[in-house]
């Protein structure tokens, strides 16, 4: 068996192409959608991510604003910046790039973003809407994975799905999105007993544990669909390595998202989608 490669770049281009007329419609009716990105300090990885987000905005015709407070900023000062953005009518989405410096209370910061401007889908109000399956911004990486599965026509209903990783950003929302599509979902993590056995039951295996090559062939049921969310730096500090052993996935899986080029391109595409959706709601309500 040789796994079918699930190309995240192909799906990203589809999503962005579909967003362009929606951006044009909002712009013609009122104003361009607006996204504010807050980047504290000079973390190199964060700077790369933010650059990609700003570039995507420019390509779509979304107004973007990058705010770069110093590394020494306090929680209260950052709360003041966010409150100012909450009040600005031309800003539809607010994204606070993580991680934040240690002196900043990340939880308070995320809670301070207005739920209707929370294009990351992290605010408890939006997480509650996800649990209840009510429309609201969804966490970008899991939402992108669902788009990937849908566009490749990979069946979910009735399938056994295993999510390895329980983060608020990927693992938990991923499990809920799969559950809403009628998969039978198991959430595993580093403390799960007999982890390879649990994973081998999966028709759809989502690896989001943040450990390079952690998922070996012992974890993979032949014919499973493997979604590798891992974005781990190589030993030389260059390149990206997934959470799944690529050779094992290619040999055993029916379909597989490579690293890089699989899940990664979808996160920014879904951020753009959430921003456009927020703008559409704001224009309609305004």
Please identify every residue annotated as catalytic. Answer: 53, 97, 120
- What is the distance between the alpha carbons of residues 72 and 93, in angstroms, rounded to a whole number? 24
- Residue 41 located in a structural domain: yes
169 and 255, same domain (yes or no) = yes
Predicted local distance difference test score (pLDDT) of residue 46: 86
Q: Which domain holds residue 216?
A: 140-264
Q: How far apart are CA 202 and CA 198, in angstroms?
A: 7
pLDDT at 14: 98
Q: What is the CA radius of gyration of the chain?
A: 19
- Identify whether 282 is part of a domain: no
User: Would 176 be classed as within a structural domain?
Assistant: yes
Domain containing residue 156: CATH number: 3.40.50.720
pLDDT at position 284:
81
Residue for token digits 């090559």? 213
Residues 84, 87, 93: CA angle, nearest 5 degrees: 90
The burial class, CB within 10 Å (0-12 / 13-18 / 19+), for 238 is exposed
Q: How far apart are CA 268 and CA 150, in angstroms?
A: 18
- Buried/exposed 38-76: b ≥16 CB within 10 Å, e otherwise: bbbbebeebeebbeebbebbeebebbbbebebeeebebe
Number of domains comprising the chain: 2
Tens-digit pLDDT string for the chain (286 aa): 689 999 999 999 999 999 999 999 999 999 999 999 999 988 888 888 899 999 999 999 999 999 999 999 999 999 999 999 999 999 999 999 999 999 999 999 999 999 999 999 999 999 999 999 999 999 999 999 999 999 999 999 999 999 999 999 999 999 999 999 999 999 999 899 999 999 999 999 999 999 999 999 999 999 999 999 998 887 777 788 999 999 999 999 999 999 999 999 999 999 999 999 999 999 887 6
Q: Verify that 176 and 107 share a domain, yes or no.
A: no
């Amino acid at each position: 068996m040789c796994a079918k490669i699930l190309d995240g770049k192909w799906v990203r281009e589809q999503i962005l192409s579909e967003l362009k007329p929606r951006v044009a419609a909002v712009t013609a009716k009122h104003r361009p959608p607006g996204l504010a990105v807050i980047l504290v300090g000079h973390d190199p990885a964060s700077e790369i991510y933010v650059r990609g987000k700003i570039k995507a905005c420019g390509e779509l015709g979304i107004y973007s604003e990058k705010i770069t407070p110093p590394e020494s900023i306090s929680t209260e000062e950052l709360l003041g910046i966010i409150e100012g953005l909450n009040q600005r009518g031309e800003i539809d989405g607010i994204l606070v790039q993580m991680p934040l410096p240690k002196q900043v209370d990340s939880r308070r910061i995320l809670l301070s973003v207005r739920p209707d401007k929370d294009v990351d889908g992290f605010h408890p109000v939006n997480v509650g809407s996800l649990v209840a399956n009510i429309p609201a911004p969804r966490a970008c990486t899991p939402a992108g994975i669902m788009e990937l599965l849908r566009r490749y026509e990979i069946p979910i209903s009735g399938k056994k799905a295993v999510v390895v990783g329980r983060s608020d950003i990927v693992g938990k929302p991923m499990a809920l999105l799969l559950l809403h599509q009628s998969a039978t979902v198991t959430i595993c993590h580093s403390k799960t007993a007999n982890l390879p056995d649990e994973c081998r039951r999966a028709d759809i295996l989502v690896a989001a544990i943040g450990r390079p090559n952690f998922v070996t062939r012992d974890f993979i049921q032949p014919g499973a669909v493997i979604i590798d969310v891992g974005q781990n730096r190589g030993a030389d500090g260059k390149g990206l390595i997934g959470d799944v052993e690529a050779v094992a996935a290619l040999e055993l899986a029916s379909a597989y998202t490579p690293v890089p080029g699989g899940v990664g391109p979808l996160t920014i595409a879904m951020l753009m989608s959430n921003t456009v959706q927020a703008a559409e709601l704001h224009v309609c309500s305004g």
